[in-house]
């Protein structure tokens, strides 16, 4: 039996949450990495944020951990990582996981890619290979 649902987990996450407008203002900041955790099919269908790194949600912990054979060096850059998904729930949980692993500073975008688009954030098509 489930004792906590995703809404409760998200509500309990003690993380920094940025508005879409605040996240858009970070575009071009060399000290910030925007990290899109949506499934690749979502990027193909909905578009992407120019310059954002695509890190599938299922790989975040593996790509962050320097001891993992899947580690990605950009996670050791010392930059601030701002995660986003489609609506903000997966990115809240991913941000909590990254923070629990010791990655800092981290934040996520409230409302995710949907809020980003609604606030006028730049987007681009993500063509299928």
pLDDT digits (tens, 9 = 90+) for 31-66: 999 999 999 999 999 999 999 999 999 999 999 999
Distance CA 19, CA 2 (A): 31
What's the token pair of residue 64?
């962050």
What's the token pair of residue 25?
């203002």
Query: Which ranges of 47-111 would DSSP assign to H, the alpha helix?
Result: 60-64, 89-100
The DSSP bridge partners found for residue 32 are: 80
Q: What size, in residues, is the chain?
A: 129
Q: What's the pLDDT score for residue 2? A: 86
What pTM does this model have? 0.95
């Amino acid at each position: 039996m489930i004792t906590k649902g995703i809404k409760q987990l998200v509500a309990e996450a003690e993380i920094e949450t940025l508005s879409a407008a605040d996240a858009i203002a970070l575009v071009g900041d060399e000290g910030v990495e925007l990290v899109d955790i949506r499934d690749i099919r979502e990027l193909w269908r909905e578009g992407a944020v120019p310059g954002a790194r695509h890190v599938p949600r299922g790989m975040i912990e593996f790509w962050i951990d320097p001891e993992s054979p899947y580690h990605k060096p950009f996670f050791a850059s010392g930059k601030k990582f701002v995660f986003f998904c489609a609506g903000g729930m997966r990115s809240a949980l991913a941000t909590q996981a990254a923070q629990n692993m010791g990655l800092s500073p981290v934040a996520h975008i409230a409302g995710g890619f949907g809020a980003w688009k609604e606030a006028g954030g730049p987007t681009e098509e993500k063509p299928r290979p």
